[in-house]
């Protein structure tokens, strides 16, 4: 586990974007593995990373034609065109500005008629793609990864997740009122995240101090889902100074 400290949010984004860009540039497609597979998060923290990737594409530094993506989660009950759905977020913050083939974009379907069956198919799609090469992730104030809340077991695959009140309150800033925040989501599991070959966790701001401390220094416990990453062989916590001021 590496804990990287940067002075600013911009430097955090610069580092993460550069690592993804280098992976894209260094990837050579083969019949057995035609795509570099990225796991992607939503939320405010990764937006500066996506802005840098868009700029790199516009400057003809990278292409997304040989990239496949799997988003980490989606609210249950929001249509893809809902302004607060993660489908909408990803289109507005990355996908519509780059040349990734639409068939290579995977985002959980929060409107699926059979949620358990969809979760199984999403997990299988990740396996069929050869697994996630780089998982970019944020971290919740309670240490959650994707929507895997505290007390989620570490061997959980993609599943339906009830959101904690603290997560609902944290996400309410994106909605007109807290009653509008969905209470359930589809999320890739902690097992799914752990199986990624490389994991880059972004953390910025003082609200993430305790989560980073427990994830990197505390006991490995389901009380802090991200603490499981202490056992991963290739993980980086990429933080600004405020996230490490403890």
What is the tens place of the pLDDT at every residue in 71-118? 999 999 999 999 999 999 999 999 999 999 999 999 999 999 999 999
Alpha-carbon distance 17 to 101, whole Å?
20
| Residue 98, in any domain of the structure | yes
What does the pLDDT look like over 195-226, one tens digit per residue? 999 999 999 999 999 999 999 999 999 999 99
Please tell me which residue in 149, 171, 236, 240 is annotated as part of the active site. 149
Query: Residue 32 pLDDT more than 90?
Result: yes
Segment 117-131 shows an average pLDDT of 98
Please tell me which residue in 73, 74, 133, 236 is annotated as part of the active site. 73
Q: What CATH number is attached to the domain comprising 120?
A: 3.40.50.1360
| Residue 93, in any domain of the structure | yes
Strand partners, 38: 69, 134
Spatial contact of 74 and 85, defined as CB atoms under 8 Å apart: yes
| Residue 206, in any domain of the structure | yes
149 is catalytic: yes
240 is catalytic: no
For residue 171, what are the domain limits?
2-27+41-244
| Residue 34, in any domain of the structure | no
Please tell me which residue in 144, 148, 159, 240 is annotated as part of the active site. 144
| Residue 36, in any domain of the structure | no
| Residue 131, in any domain of the structure | yes
E strand or H helix at 160, and its extent?
Answer: strand 159-162
pLDDT for 140 equals 92
Lookup: tokens for 196: 């990624």
Please tell me which residue in 71, 93, 104, 142 is annotated as part of the active site. 142
Strand partners, 73: 187
| Residue 33, in any domain of the structure | no
Domains held by the chain: number: 1
In terms of DSSP bridges, do strands 105-106 and 67-71 run parallel, antiparallel, or are they unpaired?
Answer: parallel
| Residue 35, in any domain of the structure | no
Q: How confident is the model at residue 129 (pLDDT cuts 50, 70, 90)?
A: very high
């Amino acid at each position: 586990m590496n804990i990287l400290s940067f002075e600013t949010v911009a430097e955090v984004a610069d580092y993460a974007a550069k690592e993804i860009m280098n992976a894209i540039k260094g990837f050579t497609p083969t019949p057995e593995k035609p795509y570099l597979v990225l796991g992607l998060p939503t939320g405010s923290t990764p937006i500066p990373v996506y802005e840098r990737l868009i700029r790199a594409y516009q400057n003809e530094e990278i292409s997304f034609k040989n990239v496949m993506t799997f988003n980490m989660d989606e609210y249950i009950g929001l249509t893809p065109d809902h302004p607060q759905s993660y489908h909408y977020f990803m289109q507005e913050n990355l996908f519509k500005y780059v040349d990734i083939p639409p068939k290579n974009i995977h985002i959980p379907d929060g409107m699926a008629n059979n949620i358990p069956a969809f979760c199984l198919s999403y997990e299988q799609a990740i396996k069929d793609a050869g697994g996630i090469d780089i998982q970019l992730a944020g971290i919740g104030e309670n240490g959650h990864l994707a929507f895997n809340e505290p007390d989620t077991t570490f061997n959980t695959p993609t599943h339906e997740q009830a959101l904690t009140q603290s997560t609902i309150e944290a996400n309410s800033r994106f909605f007109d009122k807290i009653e509008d925040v969905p209470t359930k989501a589809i999320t890739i599991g902690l097992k799914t995240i752990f199986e990624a070959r490389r994991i880059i966790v972004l953390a910025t701001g003082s609200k993430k101090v305790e989560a980073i401390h427990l994830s990197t220094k505390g006991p490995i416990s389901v009380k802090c889902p991200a603490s499981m990453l202490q056992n991963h062989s290739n993980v980086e916590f990429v933080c600004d100074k405020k996230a490490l001021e403890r």
